[in-house]
Amino acid sequence: MKAPKCPGCGRELERVWEVEHSTYIWQPFKNQYEEKSLGDLFNECPHCNSNLYDLFPDGVCNYSREE
């Protein structure tokens, strides 16, 4: 089975970039940062940088398809 294709450039997605943005808040009484949220995940095509959310709404690691 072949990898899915990017909706932006049409190339096979043999690799996918995943970028995570997390938020940390300084806690002065603990004298350290604490993670405020798990962050947002962005999946991008490594060829054209298209956002792949519509292709992977549950994340790349949860993707599967039947052929």
Domain assignments of the chain as residue spans, ordered by start: 17-62
Residue 67: which pLDDT band, with cuts at 50, 70 and 90? Answer: low
- Give the pLDDT score at 11: 97
Report pLDDT digits (tens) over 12-58: 999 999 888 888 899 999 999 998 866 677 899 999 999 999 998 88
User: Any bridge partners for residue 24, and if so which?
Assistant: 35
Distances from the Cα of 38 to the Cα of 4, 15, 24, 33, angstroms: 27, 23, 9, 14
If one compares 65 and 32, the residue with the highest pLDDT of the two is: 32
pLDDT recorded at residue 38: 67
Q: What's the angle, vertex CA 13, arms to CA 40 and CA 3, rounded to 5?
A: 115
Structure confidence at residue 62 (pLDDT): 86
